[in-house]
């Protein structure tokens, strides 16, 4: 049995209870060493084989899985954050399906959630933005044309941008060309939830300079949007006048009392 486990954003205790249980039971762990905190591996049992996939090709990872599966071993493939985002798990799952090897996926806390926690931010505020665009700049991995940063920026919804810390000059240009005013609040969150976490707040037009000044070049998320400033409408859900399935709302006069 193979389990793809989300390791969480970095802190050793931000893996799920289920994910940690799989790690404890594993005979083989293949972890994405470039971003997974190696401290997570401390719970492994004696004799567990550990592979760092940063040094491996897809084919080599699959070879380890196939061989382990043949011997009836329990295999954990540990991916950073949640594996559903930029995890390259689809190609692994497809290969396993082709050989009819059973697998499961155990979700994890994505770094975009870790970044929100570090920022004390709510990505969805009434009247400001009710949507979050998770995207990246095109790098060596292409992004479909219809998903350009510029086109998403036109919505002025909250954006969380992965894998783009090395391209902040171009990123800020594209965000502003798309319609975000230069003074839109932005943040760079470096290694969210790790002990060395850094939170840098700035304006969209200052992203490149802010990262350069702090010498942040990788392992960061860029958050953009007016949710990062002070103004918003309070939520209806918890408003005294709002009726829900669980609670009868009061009339305005009553509510004011």
Tokens of 254: 């009553």
CA distance from start to end of the chain: 60
Identity of the residue, 80 or 184, whose beta carbon is nearer to ligand SAH in the bound complex: 80
- Bridge partners of 78, per DSSP, are 5, 31
To the nearest 10 degrees (0 to 180), the angle between helices 90-98 and 58-70 is: 40
> For ligand SAH, which residue of 80, 92, 129, 156 counts as binding (CB under 6 A)?
80
Identity of the residue, 69 or 118, whose beta carbon is nearer to ligand SAH in the bound complex: 118
Please state the closest distance from residue 110 (CB atom) to ligand SAH, in A.
3
> For ligand SAH, which residue of 111, 156, 158, 210 counts as binding (CB under 6 A)?
111
Strand 75-79 with 49-52, pairing? unpaired
Q: Which residue is nearest to ligand SAH (CB)?
A: 81
Give the Cα-Cα-Cα angle 81, 83, 87 (nearest 5 degrees): 105
x-marked contacts with ligand SAH along 227-256 as a string, rule CB under 6 A: ------------------------------
Residue 87 touching ligand SAH (CB under 6 A)? yes
> For ligand SAH, which residue of 2, 4, 5, 10 counts as binding (CB under 6 A)?
10
Residue 189 touching ligand SAH (CB under 6 A)? yes
Identity of the residue, 68 or 89, whose beta carbon is nearer to ligand SAH in the bound complex: 89
Residue 210 touching ligand SAH (CB under 6 A)? no
Closest residue by Cα to residue 185 from 161, 203, 171, 159: 203
Residue 129 touching ligand SAH (CB under 6 A)? no
> For ligand SAH, which residue of 20, 92, 156, 193 counts as binding (CB under 6 A)?
193
Residues near ligand SAH (CB under 6 A), total: 23
Q: Which residues bind ligand SAH (CB under 6 A)?
A: 9-10, 35, 80-82, 85-87, 110-111, 114-115, 162-163, 189, 191-194, 219-221
């Amino acid at each position: 049995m193979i389990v793809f486990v989300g390791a969480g954003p970095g802190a050793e205790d931000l893996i799920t209870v289920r994910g940690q249980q799989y790690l404890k039971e594993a005979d083989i762990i293949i972890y994405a060493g470039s971003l997974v905190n190696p401290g997570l591996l401390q719970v492994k049992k004696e004799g567990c084989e550990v592979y760092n996939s940063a040094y491996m090709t897809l084919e080599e990872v699959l070879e380890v899985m196939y061989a382990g599966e043949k011997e009836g071993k329990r295999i954990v493939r540990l991916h950073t954050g949640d594996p559903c985002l930029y995890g390259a798990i689809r190609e692994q799952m497809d290969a396993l399906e082709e050989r009819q090897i059973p697998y499961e996926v155990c979700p994890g806390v994505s770094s975009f959630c870790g970044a929100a926690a570090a920022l004390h931010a709510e990505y969805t505020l009434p009247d400001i933005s009710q949507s979050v665009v998770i995207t990246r700049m095109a790098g060596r991995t292409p992004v479909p044309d219809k998903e350009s940063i510029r086109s998403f920026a036109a919505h002025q919804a909250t954006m969380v941008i992965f894998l783009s810390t090395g391209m902040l000059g171009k990123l800020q240009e594209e965000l502003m060309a798309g319609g975000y005013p230069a003074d839109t609040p932005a943040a760079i969150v470096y290694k969210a939830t790790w002990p060395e976490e850094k939170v840098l707040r700035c304006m969209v037009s200052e992203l490149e300079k802010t990262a350069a000044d702090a010498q942040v070049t990788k392992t960061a998320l860029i958050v953009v949007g007016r949710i990062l400033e002070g103004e918003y409408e309070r939520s209806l859900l918890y408003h005294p006048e709002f009726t829900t399935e669980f609670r009868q709302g009061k009339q305005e006069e009553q509510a004011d009392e």
